[in-house]
Structure 1
Amino acid sequence: MRRTYRRPVQPGRNRKIVIGLAVAALVGGGIAVGTGLSSASTVCDGMDDAIGRNQEFIAAQRASPNAQTEAVVANRQAVIDLINVQRKQAGCGGAVAAPPAAAPPVAAPPAAAPAKPVQQATTAPPAAGGGNAAAGDVVCAGSTVTVSGEGGAPAASSGTFPLGTTLRVRNLDNNKSITVKVASTSGSCVLLNNAAFEEVREPGKFLIRRAVIERVG
């Protein structure tokens, strides 16, 4: 009868294999956790930026109030509350600190009458940020674009252009663009509402760092 020889198992070799598998599992888990934390940080940073812009706009409205201040501030506060709910759901820690309240404007003393009449300028200077730009001009160069948190059909808000202005916003990172009308006031060149931002953003990001903004009407 033929005998089968079995090689004895070496305990030390088995121990090395088990340890190697455990180390590989730990390294793989670390990479997955690190990637998740990086993505969450990007989402939280975008929402924090949106809250900060709305808080700055509210502070500016409080510093120079008008007949519509309370309604506009209430709208912006509702936007901040909505984004805070989204921050909580995303697991973002801490809270975005509100900017310090701006001091009320101090009335300037009356100017002395000039000795000679001063010739008035016939044309007003262009508004900062391209408010007087013609159709087709690129405006607000270098501006980032984020979400305002407002609902409804795709639209924009702006502190540079009047209501009804048509703007085209293009995300250079994915070459997606959208054309929207300015429907409300904000403290930025342009903010996109939820529906408009979904059309051009990259997945998981709440901030467009490389954007081209054009006035088309």
Structure 2
Amino acid sequence: MKLQRKHVLAAGVAAVAAAAVAVGTGLGFADSAPNRQSVCPGSVTFSAEGGAPSATSDRFPIGTRLRVTNLDNKRSAEVTVTGPSGSCVLLNSTAMELVREPGKNVIRRNLIERVGEVVAQPGPGQPGQVADRPGSASPPASPPASPPAARPVAGSACSGAITFFEEAAAPAATSDRFPVGTRLRVTNLDNGKATTVTITGPSASCVLLNSAAMEQIREPGKNLVRNNTVELLR
């Protein structure tokens, strides 16, 4: 009889504990981050461009609106794609300030969501019409404008501007195109400086330099190399 009571008591304690976990999760006490899919893989960084929060992209047309969330501090920013770049999403400095942690120039844990796109260009003195979410009841008045074609240097393995992330290491790069171990030569055509880097991991850019590699080729005060060529070394 005593043994049976012990089993009944243990089962009752387990049931109460399970109910407490379920209630805690429902109230947001448990770590139950939403299982949302990011439209861009890899780290997010920024260019030195100012202005209103915006971004450039090699994937989304001009006018596309994206929400960028830093999962480490839960800060978000909504940006509009204003032109092409060599990244899935490259924030401008204003947008980066809204989401980054102090002293960090790259957001490794992030969530990028597509939230809408400009559906009509405003006329003189008229506000633009924006579809806040995909599937809006208002159909687009005209298709979104496509970004102007990037003009890669002939033979360049990557098109668009090149930027960097902070990393205390030898010159290296990350990429969404080349496997780990690939060697690339990146040349700044504005000053003729070049660096040879090895791909060490994935990112959301065709080539994203680390700070050591960027120091070897950038012009003073510039965080972006627009006029460049990227060569794949055999």
Tell me the TM-score range normalised by the shorter chain. 0.3 to 0.5
Normalized per residue, the structure richer in helix is: 1
TM-score, structure 2 normalization: 0.38
Q: Which has the higher contact order (CA 8 A, sep 6+)?
A: 1
TM-score, structure 1 normalization: 0.41
Normalized per residue, the structure richer in strand is: 2
Larger Rg: 1
